[in-house]
A and B are shown apart, each in its own frame.
Chain A
């Protein structure tokens, strides 16, 4: 497969120089072939620099201080919030809550909204491809409220079976919780259409955007999203920071999740009143430096251009699908490239994913093996584990070749020359 306009337009060599981790050599003088961005993304120097700048120049607690350092840090934090707001197309910064990550964000909705408003007989609709973070909190919310879970089945090629929606969605449906992009199959779900269908039966839609937000344009208003959760560390930002977007009227109606300092207005001996948004859902000291780092990551991504990123990653996906698909005994899970993001999960008939990952690691290639926090999906696929290669805009077509060669070498090793 020859390089297309997308790969020649995107100066991946220049982009890679922005990421200091790629300058190192691994054992055996090998370059790092990092194909595990779905687990966590590498960081550009400007994000690292921003964290260092915070800690060396104006480190101070936010919101409460009456000194210039606190003022500066508070300004940087709130500017970061506005960067997130613009990045996802929210209308107000008060709808952007900083959390510790996607998992906490989804738990916040489960505790603050679902546990408050669901009643026995209500239904939460999920899909069979969900990550445990967008499954387990709803299991417990359902148990606590007497609501029931229903699952949208998948097509044989790993997309949502939309024809089944008619029989699954009903006036009893109160919440539709779905991933924007599967972390295993790569499937990009039609969020806009799902939101319309959810709202038509009076349900809210919560989107697990951990994979989709970094790789596809998201506009919460145009897409009709009620709640959106995503993580900073998968968006080329620091760990320990994530976002929950919620429509204002929904957040206003919710009870606080975590309580303590900052999220209160007044505290008496026996009771307290709550602060306004967003503080109401930001108890304690915010991970303020990490939030500022996330702002820097968003700046970086927007300077590159999310559409350019998406087009280049799609080109990588097409090449990876073709090259890995050509390997005998290798099975790729998920739909064809036009329906998915740049994630390729696969098995090799003679080499277990664990052993495969171990062996390609010898060649400097980082992939992931296991169930990727999707045990029900893997049961559906009838495999105990898969290997997963996930791509970002700092990967190259040449790295796909290194992976393919390493897979073939692993197959030869297990065949022992036969």
Chain B
């Protein structure tokens, strides 16, 4: 028997896949990063506008399976309004929980692509020379 959480293609994922939140580009992003899942070709680019240590706007663009794209949309909705410290504390399991469905390990790679892009971006912001664009 499959229950709601086993059906990964439920309303939550398909809603975000069909009508993604903030799919597009910022005119003046504070930072951006892009990555792909080489195994399957999913691509996600993230752009953030950061003000005063807080994400004001988050946009994504990309191509790929419903899980990867929907997850990026869900992530953008989630990060807006959050502080950089809150985002640094965000873990993979939190990201997966946001998806509201249980993914097998191979699909988790799709679900975590946008999250990885975010984490890479936050990490490089912390490095010397990794500054926010004005």
Taking beta carbons and an 8 Å cutoff, which residues of A are in contact with B? 351-355, 358-359, 362, 369-371, 378, 384-385, 413-414, 416
In the assembled complex, the Cα of A124 lies from the Cα of B65 at a distance in Å of 36
Q: Which residues of B contact A359 (CB under 8 A)?
A: 9
Q: How far, in angstroms, from A384 to B63 measured CA to CA in the complex?
A: 9
Q: How large is the interface on B (under 10, 10 to 19, 20 to 34, 35 or more residues)?
A: 10 to 19
> B17: shortest Cβ distance to chain A, in Å?
8
Q: Is B67 an interface residue (CB 8 A)?
A: yes
B110 at the interface (CB under 8 A from A): yes
Q: Please, how many angstroms separate the alpha-carbon atoms of A352 and B64 in the complex?
A: 7
Inter-subunit contact A371/B40 (CB<8 Å): yes
| A353–B8 CA distance with the chains assembled, in angstroms | 15
Chosen A-B contacts, 17 in total, with CB atoms closer than 8 Å, are A352-B64, A352-B65, A353-B40, A353-B65, A354-B42, A354-B66, A354-B67, A354-B107, A359-B9, A362-B2, A370-B39, A371-B40, A378-B41, A384-B42, A384-B63, A385-B64, A413-B9
A355-B40 in contact (CB<8A): no
B121 at the interface (CB under 8 A from A): no
Q: Which 10 A-B pairs have the closest CB atoms?
A: A384-B41, A354-B65, A352-B65, A385-B41, A370-B40, A355-B66, A355-B65, A385-B40, A354-B40, A413-B9
Task: Kindly list chain A residues whose C-beta atoms are within 8 Å of the C-beta of B26.
Answer: none
Complex contacts, A384 vs chain B, CB 8 Å: 40-43, 63-64
> Per-residue CB proximity of B1-30 to A under 8 Å, as 1/0?
010000011000010000000000000000
Residue ID in chain B nearest A362 by CB atoms? B2
- Assess the A414–B14 pair: CB atoms within 8 A: yes
Give the nearest-CB partner of A410 in chain B.
Answer: B9
Q: A354-B64, A358-B107, A384-B64 in contact; A369/B40 too (CB < 8 A)?
A: yes
Residues of B within 8 A of A371 (CB): 39-41
Q: How far is the CA of A307 from the CA of B25 in the complex (A)?
A: 57
Q: Which residues of A contact B42 (CB under 8 A)?
A: 354, 384
Contact at A355–B9, with CB atoms within 8 Å?
yes
Closest Cβ neighbor of A371 among chain B residues: B41
Once bound together, how far apart are the Cα atoms of A378 and B38, in whole Å? 12
Q: Which residues of A contact B2 (CB under 8 A)?
A: 362
Set B9, B40, B67, B110: member contacting A414, Cβ < 8 A: B9
| Residues of A with C-beta under 8 A to B65 | 352-355
Could you tell me if B41 and A358 are in contact, using CB atoms closer than 8 angstroms? no
For residue A384, which residue of chain B has the nearest CB? B41
Which of chain A's residues have a CB closer than 8 A to the CB of B8? 358
Q: How far is the CB of B43 from chain A (nearest CB, A)?
A: 8
Question: Taking each of B41, B42, B67, B110, which has the highest tally of chain A beta carbons within 10 Å of its own beta carbon?
Answer: B41
B7 to chain A, nearest CB (A): 9
